[in-house]
Structure 1
Amino acid sequence: MKAYKGRGGSSPRTQSGSALAAFGCHMEDHAQHVQPIPLPAMQQNLNYLYPQIFWVDGCTNPSTSCPPTPPVAPFPPPVPDRRTKPRGNREGKNVGFLVVSLLILLSLTGVGLSMFQIFRLEKELAELRESASTERIPPALEKLIGEKSASAKKEERKAAHLTGNPTQQDLPLEWEPISGHAFTAGIQYRNRGLVINETGLYFVYSNVLFRGSTCNSQVLTHIVYKKNPTSPGSQVLMEDKKINYCANQKMWARKSYLGALFKLREMDSLHVNVSKITLVNFEESKTFFGLFKL
């Protein structure tokens, strides 16, 4: 068996030995060239990897002038905690609660007053029903009626209506002031006349019925006049005369009516006069005298 010869005529074992010898030479050369790294250089490498932080408080060397200290940037304001609600919202809610409470209180007060009024009206209605059953007027209703009657008296119009009085014998005519249709309101009947107690405009009227069994040529006269104690004599306000009122000697009847508006003064007294009292029919629906204030 022939031995294997490599390139250059050497065997594998010879080649491996030469390779190891070459590697050992190279290792020795590398060991000769590699030098140990000094400690300061290693420290610099560590500082590069992990830089150190220094707090400079001031200048260490008092002999040298120190550069001015740069201004320190202000810290940003703290972020408010959103979990805590602002005070303003809390106060607003308090004010709103107070307003709502006041509104509720006013509503309850109004309801209470309404209930009180309803209760009072029901009580008065019950008293009215009880009085109607017992024919007695309750005090509250009696007071109300009294107030209404007092106000009605204040607003009552001044007026008077007198009717004929058949028992009279002389002039001026005498009248009936209270019986039948006769009345006086705010006007006095005195000395056969109506006395004015307040100056103003008055409508005065008078009606007289004349009748007879025989006809003659006598003139029938119907007069309304006034007197006043501050002035002498009398003053005619209205007058009516009847001529040729009958014929053929038969029974007859004629009516005489007077009515007009006058401005009368206080203390004026009005009277009625006729030409012949025996010819007057004194029935209350045929002969009357009156006035009313406008």
Structure 2
Amino acid sequence: MQQNLNYMYPQIFWEEGCTNPSTSCPPAPPAAPFPPPVPDRRKKPRNNREEKSVGFLVVSLLMLLSLAGVGLSLFQIFRLEKELAQLREVNTEHISPALEKLIGEKSESMKKEERKAAHLTGNPKQQDLPLEWEPVSGHAFTAGIQYRNQGLVINETGLYFVYSNVLFRGSTCTSQVLTHVVYKKNPASPGNQVLMQDKKINYCANQKMWARKSYLGALFKLREMDSLHVNVSRTTLVSFEESKTFFGVFKL
């Protein structure tokens, strides 16, 4: 029985090219176009919220870096101060006892020098001469110089500047001379020694109220136990206000 071979084996057609150049070949079908590229859906566009989050993160990191720098600077300053204090302690430990004693004596001497001064103001409760003074109230003070028996007592020999100011005033005019004197005395020497003196004449006219100031001031070498005093011609003509009548001394 003859079988149909065409049924059992499929026919194969070759259409890509022609084997026989003498025969005309049908034109090749046009090539199919390439499909367009598929977009990458993994990359999503950023929105405004993400951009703000990133900006905030950057600013926060910058602030943290700044704070860290400030903290490091403070730590360095603290360490340097500690090292400086240690160096000072080492230098103090190496000061010789003789030098330390000299420094202490010099400081004590300077303190004593600063205390040698006195400023007295007028005392309205005047009774007799020499003039009495206020040693503690208002602008008055004594430091290293004692006020005793209406005068200033020197307790250390040296150079001193002595000054005195007296304001005279009255309601009627007289021909009496106004006298202002600063003198000193010492228990080892008899009598009084005038240091400064001022006299006022022709100080008023036409029977009217008048006022005249007398100021004395100079440098003197004074001895221990010298006492300084002030005399005037008439205590009733003296204005005892503290800014107008005063007396003082200080050591140079």
Q: TM-score, with normalisation over the residues of structure 2?
A: 0.57
CA distance in 2, matches of 1:186, 1:157: 5
Q: Distance in 2 between matches of 1:232 and 1:245?
A: 35
Equivalent of residue 284 in structure 1, options 242, 246, 252? 242
Output the CA distance in 1 between the equivalents of 2:113 and 2:148: 24
Whole-Å separation in 1 of the counterparts to 2:127 and 2:171: 20
CA 1:211 to 1:157, structure 2 compared with 1: closer, same or farther past 3 Å?
same
Distance in 1, Cα, partners of 2:113 & 2:175: 50
Are 1:172 and 2:130 an aligned pair?
Answer: yes
The counterpart of 1:262, out of the listed 211, 220, 227, is 220
For residue 221 of structure 2, give the secondary structure of its aligned residue in structure 1.
strand
Letter in 2 for 1:177: P
Aligned to 1:160: 118
Q: 1:234 to 1:154 in 2, by over 3 A?
A: closer
Whether 2:210 is the aligned partner of 1:246: answer no
2:110 and 2:179 mapped to 1: Cα distance?
A: 40
CA distance in 1, matches of 2:149, 2:240: 18
- Residue 82 of structure 2 corresponds to residue 118 of structure 1: yes
Evaluate the alpha carbon distance shift between residue 273 and residue 151 of structure 1 in structure 2; reply closer, same or farther with a 3 A threshold: closer
1:151 & 1:231 partners in 2: Cα distance? 29
CA distance in 2, matches of 1:151, 1:268: 21
For 1:118, give the aligned amino acid.
K
Q: Could you say what the CA RMSD is over the residues aligned between the two structures, in angstroms?
A: 2.5
Q: Which residue is 2:168 aligned to?
A: 210
Q: Which residue of 2 aligns with 1:25?
A: none
Gap change, CA 1:236 and 1:284, over 3 Å in 2: same
Aligned in 2, Cα 1:119/1:151: closer, same or farther, shift over 3 Å? farther
Structure 2 residue matching 1:267: 3-state secondary structure: coil
Secondary structure of the residue that 1:283 maps to in structure 2?
coil
Residue by residue, what CA displacement relative to the aligned partner does 1:35-59 show, whole Å, maximum 9, x if unpaired? xxxxxxxxxxxxxxxxxxxxxxxxx
- Identify, as 1 or 2, the structure richer in helix: 1
The one-letter code matched in structure 1 to 2:114 is E
The count of residues paired between Structure 1 and Structure 2 equals: 155
Partner of 1:182: 140
**Gap runs ≥5 in structure 2:** 1-78, 86-106
Equivalent position amino acid for 2:142 in 1: T
- Aligned counterparts, 1:24-39, within 5 A: none
Deviation at 1:119, TM superposition (A): 9.1
Q: Is the 8 A contact 2:173 2:205 kept in 1?
A: yes
Q: Structure 1 unaligned runs (5+)?
A: 1-114, 122-148
Q: Which residue is 1:275 aligned to?
A: 233
Write the mapping of 1:9-88 to structure 2, written as runs, cut at 5 A. Answer: none
Q: Match of 2:121, as an amino acid?
A: T
| Partner amino acid, structure 2, of 1:252 | W
Matched, 1:233 2:191: yes
Structure 1's 170 and 201: CA in aligned 2 closer, same or farther, altered over 3 A? same
Q: After the TM superposition, which segments of 4 or more aligned residues of structure 1 sit over 6 Å from their partners?
A: 149-152
Q: CA deviation at 1:118?
A: 2.6
Distance 1:285 1:169 in 2: 21
Task: Give TM-score, length-normalised by structure 1.
Answer: 0.49
Q: Does 1:221 align with 2:221?
A: no
Q: Secondary structure at the match of 1:168?
A: coil
Q: CA deviation at 1:157?
A: 4.3
What is the DSSP-based 3-state SS (H/G/I as helix, E as strand, rest coil) of the residue aligned with 1:278? helix
Displacement after TM superposition at 1:153 (Å) = 3.1
Aligned to 1:24: none
Percent identity between the aligned chains?
A: 87
Amino acid across the alignment from 2:227:
S
Give the C-alpha shift of residue 155 in structure 1: 4.5
> Which structure has the greater CA radius of gyration?
1
